[in-house]
């Protein structure tokens, strides 16, 4: 966490400003900052915290001639807190900055979870992060959501879209009828209109529950399914691609950020967007690798035809309207954000299979 006061920083900056030029360039001021995550560095939205934020920060400060350097304390893999506390840890300055999982904060960060109510809308991971970063940068409502948590937010994290991993082949949507599909609750309104039942379970339990018959299949992202070898117990992989989605990202405690010199603030702001770009690149790379390895290891991999994807999304309830109604009842300007989201998505080249703002 930040170990130097704003007064000390400004005092040091003033001293450097009146020092001879050669001496000022040689003298540096060290800032102590902590960066953290509940998840390990092997996760694509955590790795860039180190490879982008930590490893590029001092190089960028040197390039712009800043007298400041950051001495980082790195606390990844849950060293300071668990997955359920990623928001509070930054809000309460347990860490100065880190990865924030908005998917576990539907009440406090409802606008950041919009993509769970807009399946089959995004097309690429870069499109997903660009749209949400733009909204977080330009929308007062999105900014206020973070301000209430005492956080300055810079870069969204993203995952690949969801696919089906089943014990028997899925040749048509009708084949899902009667199946028990393991997944997170947000996926229930995606699959239950098809006659399947969503069984709420955590990712680590999928393998054993498929083995024991608790589930007939799973709805998962490929980058999450492959490390757990889900294809061994559910060898039919149907590439559905419900669309990449964002679910939080890189944020800094506002008190920490406000205490930093302007040039350090500028570097961290710039790196926040670079964090998103690197996360997107890693997801693209790891998804291709995961699907290729599953096929090489005996899984039967097939793509769901486009007409089936369109039929699927049209059987879903009006998730966009339901999301708006639920959040507007809590005083959240969800209608405005849903319309802005769909418009931004199209402006970025998206071709959503369903316009979730059409009935608003």
Cα separation, 28 vs 69, in Å, equals 7
DSSP symbol at 121: -
The region that residue 267 occupies, defined by phi over 0 for left and psi between -120 and 50 for alpha, beta otherwise, is alpha
Quick check: is 274 in a domain? yes
Q: Which domain holds residue 259?
A: 6-160+244-286
What is the pLDDT at residue 358? 95
pLDDT in tens, the chain (360 residues): 544 433 333 334 433 333 334 434 458 899 999 999 999 998 899 999 999 999 999 999 999 999 999 999 999 999 999 988 999 999 999 999 999 999 889 999 999 999 999 999 999 999 999 999 999 999 999 999 999 999 999 999 999 999 999 999 999 999 999 999 999 888 999 999 999 999 998 888 999 999 999 999 999 999 989 999 999 999 999 999 999 999 999 999 999 999 999 999 999 999 999 999 999 999 999 999 999 999 999 999 999 999 999 999 999 999 999 999 999 999 999 999 999 999 999 999 999 999 999 989
pTM of structure? 0.86
Q: Find tokens 């757990």 and name the residue.
A: 228
Quick check: is 320 in a domain? no
Quick check: is 37 in a domain? yes
Instruction: Classify residue 193 by burial, with Cβ atoms within 10 Å: 0-12, 13-18, 19+.
Output: middle
Quick check: is 134 in a domain? yes
CATH number, domain at 126?
Answer: 3.40.190.170
Quick check: is 13 in a domain? yes
User: Measured between alpha carbons, how far is residue 289 from residues 224, 226, 227, 252 in Å?
Assistant: 12, 9, 11, 32
Quick check: is 216 in a domain? no
Quick check: is 314 in a domain? no
Number of independent structural domains in the chain: 1
Quick check: is 178 in a domain? no
Cα separation, 146 vs 144, in Å, equals 5
What is the pLDDT at residue 22? 40
């Amino acid at each position: 966490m930040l170990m130097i006061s704003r007064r000390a920083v400004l005092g040091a900056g003033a001293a450097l400003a009146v020092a001879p030029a050669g001496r000022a360039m040689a003298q540096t001021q060290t800032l102590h900052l902590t960066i953290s995550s509940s998840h390990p560095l092997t996760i694509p939205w955590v790795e860039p915290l180190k490879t982008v934020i930590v490893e590029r920060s001092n190089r960028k400060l040197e390039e712009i001639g800043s007298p400041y350097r950051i001495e980082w304390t790195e606390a990844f893999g849950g060293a300071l807190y668990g997955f359920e506390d990623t928001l509070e840890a930054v809000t309460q300055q347990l860490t100065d900055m880190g990865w924030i999982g908005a998917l576990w904060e539907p009440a406090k960060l409802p606008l950041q979870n919009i993509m769970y109510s807009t399946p089959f809308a995004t097309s690429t991971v870069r499109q997903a992060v660009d749209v949400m970063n733009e909204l977080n940068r330009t929308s007062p409502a999105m900014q206020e959501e973070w301000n209430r948590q005492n956080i300055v937010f810079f870069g969204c994290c993203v995952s690949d879209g969801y696919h089906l991993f089943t014990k028997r082949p899925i040749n048509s949507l009708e084949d899902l009828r009667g199946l028990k599909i393991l997944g997170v609750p947000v996926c229930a309104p995606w699959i239950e209109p098809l006659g399947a039942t969503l069984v709420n379970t955590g990712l680590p339990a999928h393998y054993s529950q498929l083995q024991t018959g608790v589930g007939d299949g799973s709805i998962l992202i490929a980058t999450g399914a492959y490390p757990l070898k889900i294809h061994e117990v559910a060898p039919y992989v149907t590439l559905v691609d419900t669309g990449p989605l964002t679910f939080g990202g890189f944020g800094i405690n506002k008190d920490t950020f406000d205490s930093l010199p302007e040039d350090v603030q500028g570097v961290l702001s710039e790196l926040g967007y670079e964090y998103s770009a690197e996360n997107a690149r890693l997801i693209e790379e790891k998804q291709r690798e995961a699907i290729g390895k599953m096929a090489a290891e005996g899984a039967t991999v097939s793509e769901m035809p486009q007409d089936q994807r369109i039929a699927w999304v049209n059987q879903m309830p009006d998730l966009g309207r339901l999301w708006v109604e639920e959040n507007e009842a809590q005083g959240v300007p969800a209608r405005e954000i849903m319309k802005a989201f769909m418009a931004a998505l199209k402006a970025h080249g998206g071709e959503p299979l369903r316009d979730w703002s059409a009935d608003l």
